[in-house]
Amino acid sequence: MTKSRVAVARKVALQVLGEVRRRDARARDVLRTSKRMEALEQRERAQVTRLVMSVVGSRGMLDKVIDGHIKARSSVEPQVRDALRIASYELLCMSTPASVAVSQGVELVRGIRPRAAGMANAVLRRTAEDDALKRRTALERVRSGNANAFDLELVSGYPAWLLELIRTDRGDEACLRFALSALEPAPVYVAPNLNKSDGETTFERLSRAGLEPVVMEDGESAMLAAPAGLHTTGLVQGVDVIPADLSAQRVARLVIPEQGGRLLEVGQGRGTKSLLMQNVARRRDIMLNITGVDVEAFKTQVAQKRMERAGLSSAVRCVTYDACALDQSSAAEVLGTHEPFDAVFVDAPCSGVGTLRRHPEIAWALTKNDVESLHELQLSMLRAASTWVKPGGMLSYATCSVLKRENEEVVDDFLQNDQGVAFERAAQAMQTMPKQAGPDGHFCQCLRRAG
């Protein structure tokens, strides 16, 4: 084979994948902080992002394909496997000509381990000849609605067991849409921080930065058609804009009390929902005071600093506490009050299955036991948090999952226990599913406490 020069985007993708693997880090975080990414042109940054996020999210499927053509699987060193994954993904899931994907993959491997170039050539040629055809056939079955779980795995890159569970929970059509959503990266949505500037001005700043904002129908957020340079603008760091999926923004609109007042946010994380809820309050011209709780101190610190930069430190208080202990006497001292809240919002830790395009590490790390363990944690948090809802107040429960075990079944189990008997379902509820060129999968159910 004639040697060819490896495209810089593939080299950078290989380097980023290696860093993700060695640090056991989130792909999105490594991409965001990579100095190598900053030196690339916008088109190259987009290509690196697509390769890294997709390879991480489909690594289990790619390894099955690769290992099907290797006798001594354990002898493939990790960096060589990273290179084979990149080339295999291009062969299976992108429009890269097979000759280019094979040639570039071989040269990536040659740069790591020259003696492995022959093996790489053989593996990638077999993948191009055999597996690419299998995937095209599987994709035809998926689009015609006649696919099984293994077809869905080959098309989406997600594990067959997870796809089968989603099919059971949400039905055939929703599962097919879920699988097809993996074919393209998730859109990047942002909301303006209305405490600092109006939406029109913020969208103009995004446009001047070359991010090509497409304002959504509600006029409250925008999709960035060219998002690769967002984090170099300083707008995110200065909390002038809030990156947030449209479904997450919808949750924020559902959970705040109609007349404003005091809200306890359980599972505040880095404070994104706090910012979104304050946006909603500003649009509705109501006062909203939020006390946010998270079990991890570093997240509390990040959230508090974001509130300060956002100009919201007087309206949002961030504290560190175990949400499962909110029903204990020590909670009042940490929260700084003995009085119940007008609304309590439980943004529960979850599998994140509804956000796999943004958090691809989840797909092949999650197990059925994890889902069951999360159910118990989510239920415990909801029970403890419910003790802080005043009579007539609202308790809301949300996740970024599409699995019933984390969503409807948590709410059902809560309503059947001692704490839940005082509550009933309110009209505010949602379950979205990921879709191509659209938002992620989120769940929210609001409950009203008897007056």
pLDDT band per the 50, 70, 90 thresholds, residue 228: confident
Please report, for residues 171, 276, 279, 300, 327, the alpha-carbon distance to residue 272 in angstroms, rounded to integers and kept in the order given. 31, 6, 11, 12, 25
Specify whether the CB–CB gap between 243 and 230 falls below 8 A: yes
Share of the chain above pLDDT 90, in %: 94
| HEC string for 79-106 | HHHHHHHHHHHHHHHCCCCHHHHHHHHH
Whether residue 3 is contained in a domain is answered as no
Whether residue 319 is contained in a domain is answered as yes
pLDDT of residue 108: 98
Tell me phi and psi for residue 285, to 5 degrees. 60, 50
Distance between CA 169 and CA 402 in Å, rounded? 8
Q: Shortest CA distance to 280 belongs to which of 305, 259, 299, 301?
A: 259
Specify whether the CB–CB gap between 437 and 184 falls below 8 A: yes
pLDDT of residue 3: 60
Contacts with 134 (C-beta within 8 Å, 6 or more apart), sequence order:
154
Please report, for residues 102, 164, 343, 413, 425, the alpha-carbon distance to residue 262 in angstroms, rounded to integers and kept in the order given. 59, 41, 7, 27, 21
Domain end: 181, 210, 229, which one?
Answer: 181
Same domain, 326 and 402: yes
Same domain, 438 and 372: yes
Same domain, 214 and 257: no
Same domain, 222 and 89: no
Give the residue ranges of DSSP H helices in 5-41. Answer: 8-23, 27-33, 35-38
Helix (H, G, I), strand (E, B) or coil at 313: coil
Reported as a single tens digit per residue, the pLDDT across 121-179 is 999 999 999 999 999 999 999 999 999 999 999 999 999 999 999 999 999 999 999 99
Distance between CA 277 and CA 263 in Å, rounded? 10
Number of domains in the chain: 3
Residue 271, sorted as left (phi over 0), alpha (psi -120 to 50) or beta, turns out to be left
Whether residue 263 is contained in a domain is answered as yes
CB count in 10 Å sphere of residue 334? 16
Helix (H, G, I), strand (E, B) or coil at 269: coil
Is the pLDDT at 42 greater than 90? The verdict is no
Reported as a single tens digit per residue, the pLDDT across 399-432 is 999 999 999 999 999 999 999 999 999 999 999 9
Specify whether the CB–CB gap between 347 and 442 falls below 8 A: no
Range of the domain at 295: 244-449
Same domain, 396 and 423: yes
Distance between CA 80 and CA 114 in Å, rounded? 10
Same domain, 208 and 307: no
Please report, for residues 9, 13, 85, 221, 388, the alpha-carbon distance to residue 157 in angstroms, rounded to integers and kept in the order given. 22, 18, 12, 30, 42
Same domain, 284 and 390: yes
Reported as a single tens digit per residue, the pLDDT across 64-74 is 999 999 987 67
Domain end: 135, 155, 181, which one?
Answer: 181
Same domain, 291 and 380: yes
Domain end: 200, 221, 242, which one?
Answer: 242
Please report, for residues 37, 47, 56, 93, 223, the alpha-carbon distance to residue 88 in angstroms, rounded to integers and kept in the order given. 22, 15, 12, 8, 30
Structure tokens at 35: 């100095």
